[in-house]
């Protein structure tokens, strides 16, 4: 496993009076490691900003996905695929939302084996309460990286998330 290494990069100054200060930059050749590191940093920022609502970013994401669907209730499997989560991870994230009455699980009348996820009135209220905090996190990220760069990053991340070739094992890809 590539553990990465620490490199020293000098800060380039356009002002002759400023001294150049070395900056530590971690590098790695591992794409997954780089994405995980960035993801942890970004999730921490979102979770910190969302904290007053009592929601984590993942929970807000679930409420947001359900809210965007309106009356079209997804099955657990459909929502897991949309959020690129396995069913058990989605289930773990749904439990506190169900406990707090933000979502409810219903039996599909067409197939009693299928569970549908519905956003409750309390869930809609919680989503609306959290949305300004989420917006603040979005604005903070764009303030740091720029709106255009943030849009490019989202495009790259989503192309990775929904690329079916990356979901295959090495043996399946051959």
Over residues 2-50, the pLDDT tens digits come to 455 544 444 444 555 555 555 666 677 898 898 999 999 999 999 999 9
Contacts 24+ apart (CB under 8 A), 139-146: 140/45, 140/49, 141/42, 141/45
Over residues 151-164, the pLDDT tens digits come to 999 999 999 999 98
Over residues 85-131, the pLDDT tens digits come to 999 999 999 999 999 999 999 998 899 999 999 999 999 999 999 99
- pLDDT attached to residue 2: 46
pTM: predicted TM-score of the whole model, two decimal places: 0.80
How many Å apart are CA 102 and CA 123, to the nearest integer?
A: 4
């Amino acid at each position: 496993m590539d553990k990465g290494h620490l490199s020293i990069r000098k800060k380039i100054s356009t002002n002759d009076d400023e001294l150049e200060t070395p900056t530590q930059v971690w590098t790695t050749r591992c794409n997954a490691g780089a994405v995980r590191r960035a993801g942890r940093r970004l999730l921490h920022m979102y979770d910190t900003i969302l904290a007053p609502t009592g929601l984590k970013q993942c929970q807000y994401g679930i409420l947001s996905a359900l809210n965007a669907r309106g009356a079209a209730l997804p099955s657990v499997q459909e929502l897991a695929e949309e959020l690129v989560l396995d069913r058990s991870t989605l289930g773990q994230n749904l439990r506190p939302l169900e406990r707090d009455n933000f979502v409810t699980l219903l039996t599909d009348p067409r197939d009693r084996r299928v569970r549908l996820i519905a956003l409750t009135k309390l869930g809609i209220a919680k989503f609306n309460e959290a949305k300004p905090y989420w917006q603040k996190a979005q604005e903070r990220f764009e303030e740091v990286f720029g709106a255009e760069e943030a849009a490019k990053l989202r495009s790259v991340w989503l192309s990775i998330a929904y690329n079916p070739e990356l979901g295959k094992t090495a043996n399946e890809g051959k």
